[in-house]
């Protein structure tokens, strides 16, 4: 028997996904916390996208790391171009809620970003995170280079071993693949917990430490 929310935990196909729109959603291109752009070429920096469930708490986690130039929340990994939040929540776009992290590799290592990712959510829950159910809440890493992709895959293996040794038998379900299109979410989602300090944050890890030595 299918449980409540089972429909939204199934990925649509390209043929069944919502059509979306050609024009990007309006965006105030200024980070609420530090004023840097949310959309740019970001020359001299590197980028990666992390899905950890609800993107509000995940974004705050990363914008506080030294070496992160900027962050933005958005939708990635699906089919619908320029989707709205309501469309993503319908389960008919295929997108995950993700945080775009733009960072300076001379200051912040990719290994530190991976460790932050693995230790601050539960990557074994499939199309959910805690009580948040749906394809948009899946665990995901969308990389922007071959080196990032290889490092992310190695880190998954290492964290899976650490989970098993700590008594967590469930397999890691994190989706790892090269990044496709990233669609910025609506303005009110950007830096949400800076604008709403008492707002919802669904982050919660497994309590297992990610092994060291996850360098690119």
Enzyme catalytic residues: 54
Tokens representing 43 are: 């020359």
Where residue 191 falls (left for φ over 0; alpha for ψ -120 to 50; beta otherwise) is left
Neighbours of 145 (CB within 10 A): 15
Place of tokens 């800076």: 194
d(CA 51, CA 66): 20
**Cα Rg of the chain, angstroms:** 16
Q: Which residues contact 26 (CB under 8 A, 6 or more apart)?
A: 186, 187
């Amino acid at each position: 028997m299918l449980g409540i929310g089972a429909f939204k935990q199934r990925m649509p196909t390209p043929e069944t996904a919502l059509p979306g729109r050609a024009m990007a959603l309006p965006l105030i291109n200024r980070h609420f916390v530090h004023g840097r752009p949310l959309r740019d070429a970001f020359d001299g920096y590197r980028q990666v996208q992390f899905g950890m469930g609800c993107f509000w708490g995940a974004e705050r986690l990363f914008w506080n790391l030294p070496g992160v130039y900027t962050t933005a929340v958005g939708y990635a990994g699906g089919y619908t171009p320029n989707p709205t939040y309501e469309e993503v929540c319908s389960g008919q776009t295929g997108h995950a809620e993700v945080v775009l992290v733009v960072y300076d590799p001379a200051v912040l290592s990719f290994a530190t970003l991976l460790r932050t990712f693995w230790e601050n959510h539960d990557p074994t829950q499939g199309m959910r995170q805690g009580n948040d159910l749906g394809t948009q809440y899946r665990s995901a890493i969308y990389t922007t280079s071959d080196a990032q992709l290889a490092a992310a895959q190695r880190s998954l293996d290492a964290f899976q071993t650490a989970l098993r040794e700590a008594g967590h038998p469930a397999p890691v379900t994190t989706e790892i693949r090269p990044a496709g299109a990233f669609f910025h979410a609506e303005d009110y989602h950007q830096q949400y917990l800076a604008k709403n300090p008492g707002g919802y944050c669904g982050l919660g890890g497994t309590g297992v430490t990610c092994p060291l030595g996850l360098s690119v």
